[in-house]
Amino acid sequence: MNKFISTTAMLLLLAASANAQSVKIDSAYANWYYVQRMEYFNNMPPVKNAIVFLGNSITERGEWQEILSGSKYPVVNRGIGGDNSFGILARIEEALKGKPKAVFLMDGINDQFRKLPHEVSIYNYLRIIRKIKALSPKTKIYLESALPINEAMTTEPYTKGRNVLVPQLNAKLKQLAKDEKITYIDICPLFQDENGVLKSEYTPDGIHLKPAAYINWVAFLKRKKVL
């Protein structure tokens, strides 16, 4: 059985299991902030042949355009704070309207906060990747790992007990990238300690990165020769 059939079979089994057990899936995404960001994106003219950073607040807070000011390609930030895999799937067409040179897709932690089964997140990732391939086939897709968090620094109850899920999700993302023949980039070693916890010197709140951390991130991508 090839990998595509195997992945499809897994997702069908998940759907059947969810129906049988009446699993509640929190697929909401279009809150007021999401709507405002989308209004902004939709009113911006398409930027052709750009490098697009696509994701949640961790992506949105990156000053990608400034750090990559010397890039010969335009740089576009398509991060939305609080977004999840359902929200990214819903807005992927907007991110592709300029036929990007590359998309750096990085998401995952908000799915963990919602207790979404990993199979649901992976299925959403799969549909995002397939959409990119269908709508902008020349776009290079880079799938980046979800970042760990530092639960000792977080305050919200929904963040507790979630960091242990991140390596499990990333293992599935790595396999998905292999199956889809796209590039997987593990950024966790840049910012985590030996226990897989986001280092306190890189984060103000246990979840997000300090501005200077993005300089290290971009330097890493350049060493990987993907920028």
Q: What is the pLDDT of residue 25?
A: 84
φ and ψ at residue 51, rounded to 5 degrees: -95, 115
Residue pLDDT, tens place only, 116-129: 999 999 999 999 99
pTM of the model: 0.90
Helix pair angle (3-21, 118-135), 10° resolution: 130
Helix pair angle (32-43, 85-95), 10° resolution: 10
DSSP 40-106: HHHHSPP-TT-EEEEESHHHHT--HHHHTTT-SS-EEEEE-TT--HHHHHHHHHHHTTT--SEEEEE
139-159 average pLDDT score: 97
In the chain, where the domains are located: 30-223
Q: Which residue has the tokens 């909401």?
A: 28
**Degrees (nearest 5) of the Cα angle 200, 190, 66?**
95
Residue pLDDT, tens place only, 32-72: 999 999 999 999 999 999 999 999 999 999 999 999 999 99
CATH architecture of 30-223: 3-Layer(aba) Sandwich (3.40)
Pick the closest to residue 148 from 185, 199, 211, 215 (CA basis). Answer: 199
